[in-house]
Amino acid sequence: MKMQEGSIVIEDVPMTAEIRSKVAKESLPEGLSDVWDEMKDGQSFFMSTNDVKRKMYALRSAYYRWKQKRPEDSHKFSFVKEDGGIRVYKYIPTGDELEDHQPV
């Protein structure tokens, strides 16, 4: 079949297992946003995982949704890779952090 520029051809090419593993949704603990609400400035928790990169993406997405629902909340979260998982810190940024550090 000859294609013209801008046309789309539907093909029967299934996803490989490798691609499927990359698009599968990473699970987070139920009630995570409630935990974030309960945390105070300066508190943190550790989340163990075998795939830090995927868990980090999931946490960033969850934080984005959490912040969208609470635009007036001045707290920020930082997600830091540690051995065996991720440490999640809740804090209120100071002037220096606002200029020098872009939280996730």
CB neighbourhood size of 55 (10 A)? 20
For the entire predicted model, the pTM comes to 0.70
pLDDT, tens digit (0-9, with 9 covering 90-100), for 6-50: 788 999 999 998 888 777 778 899 999 999 999 999 999 999 999
Distances (CA, A) of 42 to 60, 68, 75: 19, 21, 10
Mean per-residue pLDDT of the chain: 86
**Which is more confident, 5 or 86?**
86
Beta bridge partners of 27: none
Dihedral pair phi/psi, residue 74, rounded to 5°: -85, -5
Close Cβ partners of 80 (under 8 Å, ≥ 6 residues apart): 86, 87, 88, 89
Instruction: Please determine, for residue 99, whether its predicted confidence score (pLDDT) is greater than 50.
Output: no
Looking at the chain, the whole-number percentage of residues with pLDDT higher than 90 is 63
**Which is more confident, 20 or 99?**
20
Burial label for 88, CB within 10 Å (0-12, 13-18, 19+), is buried
What CA–CA distance (Å, rounded) separates 69 from 82?
A: 28
What mean pLDDT do residues 40-61 have?
94
